[in-house]
Amino acid sequence: MSTTDKELRVGMVGYAFMGAAHSQAWRTVNRVFDLPARARMALICGRDTAKVADAADTLGWDAYTTDWRDLINRDDIDVVDICTPGDSHAEIALAALAAGKHVLCEKPLANSVEEARAMTAAADVARAAGVRSMCGFNYRRVPAVTMMRQLVADGRLGVIRHVRATYLQDWIVDPQFPLVWRLQKDRAGSGALGDIGAHIIDLTQFVTGQRISGVSAVTETFVKERPLPAESSGLAASVDGHTAPTGPVTVDDAAVFVARLDGGALATYEASRFATGRKNALRVEINGSLGSVVFDLERLNELEFYDATRPAVEQGFTRILVTEGEHPYMSAWWPPGHIIGYEHSFTHEMRDFIEAVATGVDPTPSFADALQVQLVLDAVARSAELGSSWAEVEPTLTAAAV
What tens digit of pLDDT does each residue of 74-113 get? 999 999 999 999 999 999 999 999 999 999 999 999 999 9
Query: What span, in angstroms and rounded, lies between the C-alpha atoms of 228 and 231?
Result: 8
Neighbours of 377 (CB within 10 A): 25
pLDDT tens-digit readout, 280-338: 999 999 999 999 999 999 999 999 999 999 999 999 999 999 999 999 999 999 999 99
pTM over 0.75: yes
Residues 134-160 have a mean pLDDT of 98
Is the per-residue pLDDT at 232 higher than 90? no
pLDDT, averaged across the chain: 94
pLDDT the model gives residue 235? 37
Residue 241 has pLDDT above 60, yes or no: no
Instruction: For residues 122-136, give the mean pLDDT.
Output: 97
Q: What band does 231 get if pLDDT is binned at 50, 70 and 90?
A: low
Q: Residue 185: what pLDDT? A: 96
DSSP 8-class letter at 388 = T
pLDDT computed for residue 242 by the predictor: 55
- Furthest-apart CA pair in the chain: how many Å? 69
Give pLDDT, residue 396.
86
Query: Range with the lowest mean pLDDT among 1-5, 8-12, 273-277, 344-348?
Result: 1-5
Rg (CA), the chain: 21
pLDDT at position 243 is 61
Distance CA 198, CA 221 (A): 18
Q: Residue 234 has what pLDDT?
A: 37
DSSP assignment, residue 228?
P
Q: Render the burial of 126-152: b for 16+ CB within 10 Å, e for the rest.
A: beeeebbbbbbbbbbbbbbbbbbbebb
Q: Report which of residues 4 and 51 the model is more confident about.
A: 51
pLDDT at residue number 398: 53
Q: Give 236's pLDDT tier (boundaries 50, 70, 90).
A: very low
Q: Which pLDDT score, from 0 to 100, does residue 175 have?
A: 97
